[in-house]
Amino acid sequence: MPGKFILALSSLVFIAYGTVSLINPEVPAGFAGLVLTNGNAYAEIGSMYGGLQTGIGLYCLLALFSSEYYRGGLAVLVIGIGMLAIARLISALTTSDPLTMYTWGALMYEAVTVVIATVALRQSYSGATKA
């Protein structure tokens, strides 16, 4: 159950946020306090926040409905989102500038996602049910 839940939630979150970011890269840039000063910045935010997140969301959706991709989807969440959370935490702890709820909220979402995905991935190898 936790595996299907976190894959469903992740597919929804990543596809939704990724699509918004792909359509209008200024949205995620604004949330993060970034200013898009040229076309390269626009393309970078559009691709990383839009393309990559939409792709991760679609892979989670595939893993949700295909047992062949189930463990792979969970592994993407554990490793990919885990490293994202670690990098965000390190960066948050090393800056002297104030942080907003955007950073702390993202970190909390990432940490919870990684914990649930880790539990589900371990269960999948111990013979526990995936559903």
Question: For residue 55, what are the contacts with CB-CB under 8 A and spacing of at least 6?
Answer: 18
What is the distance between the alpha carbons of residues 109 and 125, in angstroms, rounded to a whole number?
A: 25
pLDDT tens, position by position, 50-104:
999 999 999 999 999 999 999 999 999 999 999 999 999 999 999 999 999 999 9
Whether pLDDT at 128 is above 60: no
Mean pLDDT taken over the chain:
95
Q: Which of 12, 94, 121, 26 is nearest to 57 (CA)?
A: 12
pTM, to two decimals: 0.90
Q: Counting Cβ atoms within 10 Å, is residue 45 exposed (0-12), middle (13-18) or buried (19+)?
A: buried
pLDDT band at 129 (very low <50, low <70, confident <90, very high): low
- What was the pLDDT predicted at 1? 87
Cβ proximity of 114 and 81 under 8 Å: yes
